[in-house]
Amino acid sequence: MYLRTFSPSHFEGGSWNEGGYCLRKQPYQSNETQDEMTVKLHNIQLEEFWRAEKEAKKKGKRLRLLDTTQALWLRPDGHSGPYGHLPEANGNSDCAHWCLPGPIDILNDFLLAMLEREEDKGLLAQVR
């Protein structure tokens, strides 16, 4: 079983429905401050995964973590922004990263690489 961590929001100046915007045209730099709530939620998700992983091991099950939060945090430029929306959308951005092509495309590659590594180690049969 695989758990993928969440995609963080990139809205600045408010939430998506309260005038927030996502107009960045470049990735964040690694030294730029991340949203405190994103960091807190990511840490909680990791802690809970590790707790569940320990319990699963006791039952002979394997859990795997596909941690995409950090990678997607760095790519606020990977969505459509206010472009491609009807005028009545009031310029609201789509920060769900589902506007392809973009960073979301790489998630399948991450998962495939993890599956191939499991197969190379002879562990894929145990995961199925």
Instruction: Indicate the number of domains in the chain.
Output: 1
pLDDT number for residue 52: 96
pTM (2 d.p.) = 0.67
pLDDT over threshold 70, residue 98: no
d(CA 62, CA 83): 42
> Which range marks the domain in which residue 98 is found?
2-127
Distances (CA, A) of 113 to 2, 66, 117: 13, 11, 6
Select from 73, 103, 90 the least CA-distant residue to 16: 90
Residue 79 pLDDT = 58
Residue 44: how many CA atoms within 13 Å on its side-chain side? 7
Q: pLDDT tens digits for 59-79?
A: 999 899 999 887 888 777 665
Range 24-44 average pLDDT: 80
Tokens of 85: 């929306």
**pLDDT at residue 46, as a whole number:** 95
Q: Is the pLDDT of residue 56 over 90?
A: yes
Q: Residue 27 carries which DSSP code?
A: P
> Which has the higher per-residue pLDDT, 18 or 40?
40
pLDDT (mean) for 81-107: 58
